[in-house]
């Protein structure tokens, strides 16, 4: 969508004028029976009513039965359960009644996504209040959810909603208000004339269990966002179905590599709310434009005093397991969502620095050359990647012996400079009897089966291949063992992993994926868990990297496919994008959207994977990409080489400068990654997350916040002369390079500079940096810090710094330094923001602060006094040292040399 959804938060991807995208290979809604069926239903057509509503085991339970179920033909009821959890989360489950006749098949509920701690947050519902509404005709049952909010089930017709407390409380979120709920129960047998098979192109899906889809409408209240439907083809819903789409479009609602069925809405008056459906089958979601249901308004009795956005959710299989998040602030919604699915893992510190990738660095010599060139050109980087060609015939965990005869030596040489390597490991396993992985997997029966019960055999990079059944924990554990140093010959502790093609991609399968009637462990059909397949593969791989070091070191695994919870296992990227300005532009809403779904550690391939970026585009991409949480350059093997030194001296300088900015900001980024780990709040954020009541931010997805302190505006057009930036809020902003101040709540038309994209520090914040340049982040470990203080109108500011060993899990025992810096009344104070004592596990650091820059000071102090040492230090007054144009004079405190681990204050006099 052109203006994607700050509101709609699942991954959306995008086309306009990309012709190579083979649209016909993929199903549209009309070719997808459950989608077509759900969309043909009329509002108000659901005839289910809630009966036997009661409290049982701390939950509200009810039966859903058809209003007119005849005696001769009694319909099977559905069972509904509502539970409340701490911090404003309501969960709704609806499934078939398992206590009736033994079910033919248990419908699939996705395991391993909800974190165990969430279940401990359950509130024990005790009281059910009955209300008669609409003139006493309609009964509803009400339960307490959290301070100020109630969960309500209206009985006839059934509707579930969250409202502000009290009979006339405003609605926040509701389900089935438009009466579109539909649940196809599994049937014992085909009815006459019923054909369960589905055909698409040359593929037949046997559908042995027949139709089993679920659909319902969800309404979001008081949402202000301009909800715009899909961009290109307005007739298509958003499709959540993990697919390997070759040369994807930048502006289309079709499915891509990952799916997170979570939507958030935001409005100025009330704030934010969110809805999440835990379901791994194919899903389609419609967002209706206002007035879509006008002709049904008499049947529906919808409240007219509240603005509303209606949506329709449709899934091919599974159960209803839905979560309502009350908000009311945007950050509350992410916090609530990640309390269910987990916050992101804290990466090792090298992983948030710059990664250099290409399909393929050909051989060891190529690797050594590229590595040396980075040094020669004074460009830092941390990780060099090897794509599929490094293997022996696409047999993962092996090396091409001609091209990479000494992989350990190669890794060790790079490790000596503090650098790491990454190799690719995909889920398709070459069916070759002499390949040990295949041999073991086939002997142990660890492959996904086809509908006839044989090992599923599909075509991928490795030719005829089978796919490990990662849904089975035993198999995951076997897989994890493959990463031990003994098993993965040629691997060393500085080698990390990349999981690609895990949607899964099957070149000759329906829609380039696995047939839906393929079978997994426990007789689960692939259709039921398709969207979670890549998630399990990512999980198993991350477990492998943890195990190989006896659980000491944090893993690093990049995955292309993702699902709710992927944030716990590593990074994801936006897949195979293209070298054009539209893809540069769309990389921002894509990474922001991922962040809103808890997947903070993401980025787009710098330069675009397909095609050759012109130099200007590549430079602009580095300038923007330096702020992606995951920062990697990558390219297709048919593209020209594009390492940063290949475009002439001036362009090398520009790309070096962009990468340097990222390295300077690493302490700030790492602090933000820890915040994401502790709270779920993403590293980069849409402006409205920081400024939820400033309407001008609501549809702005060209600019974004890095943490709460930096605003970055991309430049998305060629030869741009000017760039307009909206700076939100009432306080000022300081240009990161010049230190010049700009007014808030205003659009500024700036000259587009060649050497950087606009970035501003928000008044009232303090940002920690490390300004000395090294070859890799590892070599910066002991470097001193720079603190940049941007004063607000009350001449105050605050900020944080989080530091740990950057490598192990020790931080979970309190082994870290977490400081809070506050500046007010001319005094900077550093105090502990972490645990009071960490006992034996205390992390120690001798690092000091070498420079403090104060932006926005109107007086000219003479000196600075450090307490408790009572030591005076020099200050200077002059333009910012950071390369850039002329700017105002700012105050710099030189060499205060205070240790970051200590408490101290610095008073300017
Ligand atoms: C933080 O990350 C670690 C792994 O790096 C994970 O085990 C932990 O659950 C995460 N969350 C919190 C709140 O620490
Ligand atoms: C200025 O910043 C301080 C510290 O962040 C904050 O407490 C204060 O409210 C801010 N003042 C204004 C006017 O925003």
513 part of a folded domain: no
Q: Which residues form the domain of 59?
A: 8-341
Kind and range of the H or E run holding 592: helix 581-596
User: What are the pLDDT digits (tens) for 151-182?
Assistant: 999 999 999 999 999 998 999 999 999 999 99
Q: Of these residues, 332, 371, 455, 500, which one is catalytic?
A: 500
- Band (pLDDT 50/70/90 cuts) for residue 1 is very low
Q: Which ligand is nearest to the CA of 802?
A: 1
Phi, psi of 907 (to 5 degrees): -105, 130
* Cis amide leading into 393 (omega within 30): no
Measure CA of the first residue to CA of the last residue in the chain; give whole Å.
Answer: 54
Ligand found nearest the CA of 789: 2
> What are the structure tokens assigned to 267, written together?
């409005």
Is position 256 within any domain? yes
300, with CB counted inside 10 A (0-12, 13-18, 19+), is middle
C-alpha–C-alpha distance, residues 810 and 804, integer Å = 8
Position 132 in a domain: yes
Give mean pLDDT, residues 40-63: 95
Contact 112, 136 (CB under 8 A): no
Q: For residue 468, what is the DSSP state? A: B
- Identify whether the C-beta of residue 1 lies closer than 8 Å to the C-beta of residue 14: yes
717 CB-contact burial (10 Å; exposed 0-12 / middle 13-18 / buried 19+): middle
Ligand 2 atom closest to Cα of residue 792: 1
Note whether residue 162 is domain-resident. Answer: yes
Count how many Cα atoms sit within 13 Å of the Cα of residue 405 in the half-sphere of its side chain.
Answer: 2
22 within a domain of the structure (yes/no): yes
For residue 136, the number of C-alpha atoms closer than 13 Å in the C-beta half-sphere is: 0
Query: Residue 227, Cα to own-chain centre: how many angstroms?
Result: 21
Binned at pLDDT 50, 70 and 90, residue 250 comes out as confident
- What is the count of structural domains for the chain? 1
Distance 764 CA to ligand 2 centre (A): 6
**Distance in angstroms (rounded) separating the CA atoms of residues 125 and 636:** 55
Question: Which listed residue (576, 616, 731, 800) is catalytic?
Answer: 576
Residue 167 designated active-site: no
Contact (Cβ atoms closer than 8 angstroms) between residue 634 and residue 606? yes
Give the orientation angle of helix 666-679 with respect to helix 649-664, to 10 degrees.
Answer: 50
Q: Is 664 in a helix, a strand, or coil? A: helix
- The CA distance from 480 to 503, in Å, is 19
Let me know if residue 644 belongs to a domain: no
782 Cβ neighbours under 8 A, 6+ residues apart: 846, 847
Tokens of 522: 């426990």
Q: Which position has the token pair 């002709």?
A: 295
Average model confidence (pLDDT) across the chain: 93
12 within 8 A of 121, measured Cβ to Cβ: no
> Each residue of 815-849: pLDDT tens digit?
999 999 999 999 999 999 987 765 666 899 999 99
Return the minimum-mean-pLDDT range out of 7-21, 102-116, 215-229, 764-778: 7-21
Ligand 2 pocket: which of 729, 764, 827 to mutate (most atoms within 8 A of CB): 764
Distance (Å, rounded) from C-alpha 558 to C-alpha 603? 11
| Cis previous bond, 790, omega within 30 | no
Per-residue pLDDT band for 25 (boundaries 50, 70, 90) equals confident
Mutate to test the pocket of ligand 1, among 115, 339, 343 (most ligand atoms within 8 A of CB): 343
Q: Which of 744, 789, 794, 823 to mutate to test the pocket of ligand 2 (most atoms within 8 A of CB)?
A: 794
Residues at CB less than 6 angstroms from ligand 2: 731, 764, 792-794, 796-798
Domain presence at residue 275: yes
Cis before 503 (ω within 30): no
- The CATH number that applies at residue 175 is 2.60.40.1760
751: burial class by Cβ within 10 Å (0-12, 13-18, 19+)? exposed
Q: How many residues does the chain have?
A: 909
- Averaged pLDDT for residues 232-254: 79
Is residue 408 flagged as an active site residue?
no
Predicted pLDDT of residue 12: 34
pLDDT tens-digit series, residues 642-677:
999 999 999 999 999 999 999 999 999 999 999 999
Q: Which ligand is nearest to the CA of 765?
A: 2
810-847 burial string, b = 16+ CB within 10 Å, else e? bbeebbbbbbebbbeeeebbbeeebeeebeeeebeeeb
For residue 361, being part of any structural domain is answered with no
Pairing outcome for strands 320-325 and 271-277: antiparallel
């Amino acid at each position: 969508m052109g203006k994607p959804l700050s509101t709609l938060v699942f991954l959306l991807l995008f086309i306009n004028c990309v012709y190579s995208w083979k649209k016909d290979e993929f199903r549209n809604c009309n070719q997808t029976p459950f989608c077509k069926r759900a969309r043909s239903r009329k509002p108000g057509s659901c005839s289910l009513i809630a009966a036997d509503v009661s409290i049982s085991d701390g939950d509200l339970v009810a039966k859903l039965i058809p209003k007119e179920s005849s005696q001769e033909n009694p319909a099977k009821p559905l069972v509904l359960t509502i539970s409340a959890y701490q911090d404003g989360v309501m969960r709704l489950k609806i499934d078939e009644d398992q206590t009736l006749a033994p079910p033919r098949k248990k419908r699939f509920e996705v395991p391993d996504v909800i974190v165990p701690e969430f279940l401990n947050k359950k509130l024990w519902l005790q009281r059910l209040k009955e209300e008669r509404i609409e003139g006493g005709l309609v009964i509803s049952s009400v339960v307490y959810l959290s301070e100020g909010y109630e969960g309500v089930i209206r009985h006839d017709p059934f509707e579930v909603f969250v409202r502000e407390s009290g009979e006339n409380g405003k609605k926040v979120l509701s389900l089935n208000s438009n009466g579109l709920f539909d649940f196809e129960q599994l049937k014992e047998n085909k009815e006459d004339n019923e054909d369960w098979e589905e055909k698409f192109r040359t593929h037949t899906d046997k559908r042995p269990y027949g139709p089993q889809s679920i659909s319902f409408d969800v309404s979001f209240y008081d949402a202000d966002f301009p909800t715009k439907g899909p961009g290109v083809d307005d007739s298509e819903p958003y499709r959540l179905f993990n697919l390997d789409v070759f040369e994807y479009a930048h502006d289309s609602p079709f499915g891509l590599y990952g799916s997170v069925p979570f939507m958030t809405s935001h409005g100025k008056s009330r704030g934010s709310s969110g809805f999440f459906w835990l379901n791994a089958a194919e899903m389609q979601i419609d967002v209706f434009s206002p007035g879509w249901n006008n002709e049904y308004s008499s049947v529906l009795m919808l409240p007219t005093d509240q603005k509303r956005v209606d949506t329709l959710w449709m899934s091919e299989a599974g159960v209803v397991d839905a979560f309502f998040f009350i908000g009311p602030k945007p950050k509350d919604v992410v916090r609530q969502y990640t309390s269910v699915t987990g916050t992101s893992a804290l990466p090792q510190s090298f992983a948030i620095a710059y990664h250099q990738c290409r399909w393929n660095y050909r051989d060891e010599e190529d690797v050594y050359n590229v590595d040396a060139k980075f040094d020669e050109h004074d460009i830092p980087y941390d990780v060099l990647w090897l794509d599929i060609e490094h293997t022996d015939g696409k047999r993962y965990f092996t090396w091409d012996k001609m091209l990479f005869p000494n992989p350990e030596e190669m890794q060790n040489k790079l490790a000596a400079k503090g650098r790491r390597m990454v190799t690719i490991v995909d889920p398709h396993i070459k069916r070759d009897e002499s390949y040990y992985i295949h041999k073991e997997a086939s002997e142990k029966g660890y492959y996904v089966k086809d509908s006839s019960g044989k090992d599923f055999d599909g075509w991928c990079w490795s030719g005829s291949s089978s796919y490990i059944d990662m849904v089975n924990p035993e198999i995951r554990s076997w897989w994890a063992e493959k990463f031990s140093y003994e098993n993965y010959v040629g691997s060393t502790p500085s080698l990390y992993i990349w999981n690609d093609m895990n949607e899964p991609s099957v070149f000759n399968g329906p829609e380039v994926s696995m047939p839906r009637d393929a079978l997994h462990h426990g007789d689960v059909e692939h259709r039921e868990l398709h969207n979670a397949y890549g998630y399990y593969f990512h999980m198993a791989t991350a477990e492998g990297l943890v195990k190989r070091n006896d659980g000491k070191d944090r893993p690093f695994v990049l995955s292309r496919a993702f699902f709710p919870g992927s944030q716990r296992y590593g990074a994801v990227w936006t897949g195979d994008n293209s070298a054009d300005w539209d893809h540069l532009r769309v990389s921002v809403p894509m990474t922001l959207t991922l962040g809103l779904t808890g997947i903070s550690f993401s980025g787009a391939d710098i330069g675009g994977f397909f095609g050759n970026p012109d130099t200007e585009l590549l430079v602009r991409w580095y300038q923007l990409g330096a702020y992606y949480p995951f920062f990697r350059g990558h390219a297709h093997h048919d593209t020209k080489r594009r390492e940063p030194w290949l475009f002439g001296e001036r362009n090398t300088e520009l790309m070096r400068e962009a990468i340097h900015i990222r390295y300077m900001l690493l302490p700030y980024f790492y602090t933000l990654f820890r915040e994401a780990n502790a709270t779920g709040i993403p590293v980069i954020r849409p402006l409205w997350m920081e400024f939820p009541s400033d309407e001008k931010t609501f549809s702005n997805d060209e600019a974004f916040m890095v943490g709460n302190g930096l605003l970055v505006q991309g430049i998305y057009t060629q030869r741009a002369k000017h760039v307009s930036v909206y700076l939100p809020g009432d306080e000022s902003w300081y240009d990161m390079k010049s230190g010049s101040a700009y007014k808030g709540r205003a659009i500024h038309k700036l000259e587009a500079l060649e050497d950087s994209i606009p970035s501003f520090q928000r008044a009232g914040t303090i940002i920690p940096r490390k300004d000395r340049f090294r070859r890799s982040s590892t070599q910066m470990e002991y470097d001193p810090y720079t603190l940049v203080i941007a004063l607000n109108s009350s001449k105050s500011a605050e900020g944080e710094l989080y530091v740990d060993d950057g490598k192990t899990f020790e931080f979970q025992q309190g082994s870290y330094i977490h400081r809070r810096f506050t500046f007010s009344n001319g005094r900077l104070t550093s105090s502990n923001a972490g645990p009071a004592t960490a006992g034996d596990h205390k992390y120690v650091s001798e690092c000091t602060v070498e420079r403090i820059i104060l932006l926005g000071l109107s007086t000219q102090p003479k000196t600075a006094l450090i307490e408790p040492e009572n030591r005076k230090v020099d200050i200077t007054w002059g333009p910012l040292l950071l390369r850039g144009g002329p700017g105002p004079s700012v105050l710099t405190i030189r060499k205060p040399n205070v240790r970051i681990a200590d408490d101290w204050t610095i008073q300017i006099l």
